[in-house]
Amino acid sequence: ETGVTQSPTHLIKTRGQQVTLRCSSQSGHNTVSWYQQALGQGPQFIFQYYREEENGRGNFPPRFSGLQFPNYSSELNVNALELDDSALYLCASRKDTHYEQYFGPGTRLTVT
């Protein structure tokens, strides 16, 4: 069984730029969620995708958007990057019939 994978591992961007982060869900999982984890904080829910549609969103502005593909992999896009967007971005997958989530290793984004 393949676990959740994310790419890239690390990324440095400049304020105002755009970024795309990628996630491959664990085999058999059809639901993907994205989280932002600032240093010393718990993960904050960004949004969830199921059947290629966003079906839940946290308190993040529209410049945070995503996609889910037919193979259940997913992307997180962030436009107009701000310094406060610097964080660890975590992708988590699960089966829609189960609650427990399995996290990928994350992408460390630094905005300068």
Partner 1 sequence: GQQVMQIPQYQHVQEGEDFTTYCNSSTTLSNIQWYKQRPGGHPVFLIQLVKSGEVKKQKRLTFQFGEAKKNSSLHITATQTTDVGTYFCAGFNDYKLSFGAGTTVTVRA
DSSP per-residue letters across 45-91: EEEEEETTEEEEE-S--TTEEEEE-TTS-EEEEE-S--GGG-EEEEE
Is the Cβ of residue 42 or residue 70 nearer to partner 1 in the bound state? 42
User: Which tokens belong to 34?
Assistant: 């994205």
Is the Cβ of residue 59 or residue 97 nearer to partner 1 in the bound state? 59
Is the Cβ of residue 13 or residue 60 nearer to partner 1 in the bound state? 60
In whole angstroms, the minimum distance from the beta carbon of 15 to partner 1 comes to 26
Binding site for partner 1 (CB under 8 A): 33, 35, 40-45, 48, 55-56, 58-59, 90, 92, 99-106
